[in-house]
Amino acid sequence: MHDLVIRDGMLVDGTGGPRRPADVAIDGDTITAVGGDVGAGRREIDADGLIVTPGWVDSHTHFDAQATWDPELTPSGWHGVTTVVMGNCGVGFAPADPARRDWLIAVMEGVEDIPGAALTDGIQWDWETFPEYLDALDEHRWVADIGTQMPHVALRGYVMGDRAADDRGATAADLAEMARLTTEALRAGALGFSTSRTPLHKDNAGNLVPGTFAPTDELFAIAEAIADAGHGVFQCALHHPDVPASADWLRQVAKITGQPVIFNLNQPDEHPDLWREELDILEAAQAEGLDLLAQVAGRPVGILECWDGTANPFVPRPAAWELAGLSRNDRLAALNRPETRQALCDSEPIELSRFETFVTSGWHKMYPFSGETDYEPERSQSVEAIAERTGRRPVEIAYDQLMADDGNGLLYFPLFNYANGDLDHLWELHQHPYTRMGLADAGAHCGAICDGGMPTFMVSFWTRDRTRGERLPLEHIVARQTRQTAELYGLLDRGVVAPGYRADLNVIDYDNLTFDAPRMAWDLPTGARRFVQKAKGYRYSLCAGTVTVQDDVFTGDHPGRLVRGPRPVSTG
């Protein structure tokens, strides 16, 4: 008799093959039988009318600090994710000289918009070296497995101290030590190495993160370290217009490592067709036998603007600054007064950077937002278009939207992946053999972006709900965020529902799968804020054969463990 049987479900097994009716038998943490009547179980789950999938594997998260205090790993735990990979974009908290912990927090706060007070209060500093960080994580338990990577910023800071900010200042001894520590981290269980090469990534004082413009010799030294260890993804956050110019060194890193090299691919407004050039680069590299890949988001990288968030159209207006020191209730009371509305709408914004000006006054690309259906809005729904139709100023439309829902109204600004006013290019990108699902950034961008629920969105939107263009097959989307993302990091023991694989599974009410509108919560350490978005429709989520979610509610079980290094398929 099996420990558990999932009975009468419609199996979408993660391989991309057609769905089929099947039972799934589990013993311990392993799937032991899949097919017709697999026999009885000590416990059985009735999956009639439901789909059964592998658990989602999210390869781009930022739980590096949160993993030390949150066993539910929300938002990922709400959305059927059973394995997360963190340590992306070159930022993280190991290795960490005790004297430079505050600096690492300042970098993470600036790059990933995670409140510094929450990090300071929440992190349990039980390590200095990267192997010690892994040992500290090994003491924790979660609803999902966690894998992590060596971050370039932390590595540079540990080796070079105050010299880390000088991108061209690494000596031969520094390079040798960075390489040694990278190999050490990979052999201890890191899944890869990450770096940032984009000027969008700055610390909380506005400084570019260390390594942004480090010479390629430094990257090649790290690549040699990966080759020495015998495994490890090289993950890179690139500035989009720089991708063609970076193609040579990306190919060289892939050639040295013999392992996957992956960079982020988004569509910027100023280069709406650059992604086609990037695909050409991938295809040329793969033709050379180099495993160069691009990571693609499932929807726009969308800035959510509200009174409590990081951005809104009134942040640069001096008339709003005097409200900043008020309590939330007092601020909302003031905002409800007609004289406040007039003063803020009539106030002239100060001069900001081009980026900040674009986000806070790009009325043509700013949309009132209410929920799931608003991720592919028509141009006619923009603040600018509404203002033109109604004869009002865009700033007034924005103000009234922010005051909706008792002052909790949202504006949506699709920063990347919306240059053409639709998601057709993402429809193409998600079918390309050399792209991978990612960039949900779960755990990060707490005051401005709420994309950690992207795994749920991929299923509900792309396979069922999209109305403005073609959809994608359910089988393909499931494979995108299970087998493909697992194999990227060498986690060959998961991502497929078949005998010998890990019993990481979702049982989903597909017809009713959805998620709530984003809302601001104050549930981080010290009561710091973050956007949250919960899912509906996960009847069961299982990690290592243990039910962690039932009817969208955590069961209290935490079977998730630290994943150390690549994992083979079980043959037992």
CB 459 within 8 A of CB 299: no
pLDDT at 529: 97
Q: How far is CA 496 from each of CA 78, 436, 475, 480, 503, rounded to the nearest angstrom? A: 21, 16, 12, 11, 9
Phi and psi torsions of 548, nearest 5°: -105, -25
**Smallest Cα–Cα separation from 275: which of 379, 430, 415?**
430
Dihedral over Cα of 397, 403, 404, 409: its sign = positive
CA distance 417 to 415: 7
**Smallest Cα–Cα separation from 208: which of 317, 91, 318?**
91
pLDDT at 370: 82
- In this prediction the pTM is 0.97
Secondary structure E strands in 87-151: 145-147, 150-151
Provide the 8-state DSSP code for 471.
-
**Interacting residues of 158 by C-beta distance below 8 A, sequence separation 6+:** 95, 96, 97, 100, 181
CA distance 230 to 197: 24
pLDDT at 150: 98
Secondary structure E strands in 276-334: 292-296, 301-305
Q: Which residue has the tokens 């900010």?
A: 165
Instruction: Give the number of other CB atoms < 10 A from CB of residue 172.
Output: 9
Dihedral over Cα of 302, 307, 311, 316: its sign = positive
Amino acid making up residue 9: G
Structure tokens at 154: 């932390």
Amino acid making up residue 188: A
Boundaries of every domain in the chain: 88-300+419-446+474-488, 304-415
CA distance 224 to 14: 33
CATH homologous superfamily of 88-300+419-446+474-488: Metal-dependent hydrolases (3.20.20.140)
pLDDT at 138: 98
Residue positions counted in the chain = 572
pLDDT at 406: 96
Residue 146, SS3 per DSSP: strand
Most distant CA pair in the chain, distance? 73
Q: Is 465 exposed, middle or buried (0-12, 13-18, 19+ CB in 10 A)?
A: middle
* Continuous H helices in 214-297: 216-229, 243-257, 274-287
- Report the chain (572 residues): mean pLDDT per 10 consecutive residues: 98 98 98 96 98 99 98 98 98 97 98 98 96 98 98 98 95 98 98 96 95 97 98 94 90 98 96 96 98 98 95 92 92 97 93 74 93 84 97 97 96 96 98 98 97 97 97 98 98 98 98 95 98 98 98 98 93 51
Q: How far is CA 371 from each of CA 374, 400, 411, 441, 457, rounded to the nearest angstrom? A: 6, 17, 11, 19, 11
CA distance 281 to 488: 19
CA distance 310 to 318: 16
Sheet holding 150-151, edge to edge: 150-151, 192-197, 233-238, 261-265, 292-296, 435-437
Q: Is 136 exposed, middle or buried (0-12, 13-18, 19+ CB in 10 A)?
A: middle
**Smallest Cα–Cα separation from 82: which of 105, 113, 109, 61?**
61
CB 50 within 8 A of CB 508: yes
Structure tokens at 256: 């040295």
pLDDT at 405: 94
Q: How far is CA 403 from each of CA 326, 399, 410, 422, rounded to the nearest angstrom? A: 17, 6, 9, 27
pLDDT at 374: 80
